[in-house]
Amino acid sequence: MSVYDLIVIGGGPAGLTAGLYASRAQMKTLVLERMMTGGQAASTEWIENYPGFEQGVSGAELASKMEAQARRFGLEIATAAVTDVRTDEKPMSVVTDGGEILARSLIIATGSDPKKLNVPGEAEFRGKGVSYCATCDGPFFKEKDVVTVGGGSSGVQESLYLTRFVKSIRLVEFTDRLNAEKILQQRARENGKISVFLSHRVISINGAKKVESVTVENRADGTRSDFRADGVFIWVGLKPNSEFLNGRLPLDAIGGILTDADMATNIPGVFAAGDVRAKTVRQVSTAVGDATIAAESALHYVESVL
């Protein structure tokens, strides 16, 4: 069985950057991605804070450019779902839904998925009015009334994107203030389609065959209201995709992989980068930075064991 110098698990910005650096260093490198390359960034309508794009860039375009650049240096990319990693073997083994693949080093760059509200109706109406991606589903709600949940930068930015299509937005935020970047807060407050409800929480998502309303509670006085809605878009944070590791690596309280400054885990030859890593800031730029360090660390490790 062929042995890769490096297998990168995850094909988002971190995975593609790691693949670029490793392949350019002439490491035999494979990126495994369970869905589409680009990760969360690819489904982001517009990215304004990634350096080098004066007017901003669509997430899909940025992901496409990253992939093309990495492939130029011979990076291999395959579609596969990783179900386990066997790090106690040398070379290490990555178990996928299509079989096992061997590698001398690993970089875990599996990113994160949107957190759920875990309220009645959320799971039942997913795909029937409940969404976690404005870019994916916004056009289906033309001239409709929707509720958006989450006042962080992602939630406000995606709400602003939705105003291209919808008739109205009620933005529900659990805390007593928006936590988005100031420029995004200003744009939201100046947009006539957006009404902001601070210190509110979603109690339930209601309907028969699809979303018809959302019940919210005012946290200040406990009063409840039913908001008529055709859809609900939820952005309340991200959860690192680390379950497939089956406890083989130490994690923080929310599932982020613990690493040192070199992106190394407690297992020699295993590194982590991007949103799956335990850290406080999760942006495309930080994912790229993590991946650069992780790839260099993996290169030094492989050279030391050959």
Active site residues: 133, 136-137
**301 to 17, 264, 265, 282: CA distances (angstroms):** 18, 10, 12, 26
Both tokens of 304, joined, read 């030391």
Phi, psi of 190, rounded to the nearest 5 degrees: -90, -10
Question: HSE of 144 in the Cβ direction (CA atoms, 13 Å)?
Answer: 20
| Under 8 Å between Cβ of 104 and 22 | no
**What is the number of alpha carbons within 13 Å of residue 164 lying toward its C-beta?**
12
Angstrom distance (rounded) from CA 74 to CA 163? 41
Q: Under DSSP, is residue 150 helix (H, G, I), strand (E, B) or coil?
A: coil
Phi, psi angle pair for 293, to nearest 5°: -65, -45
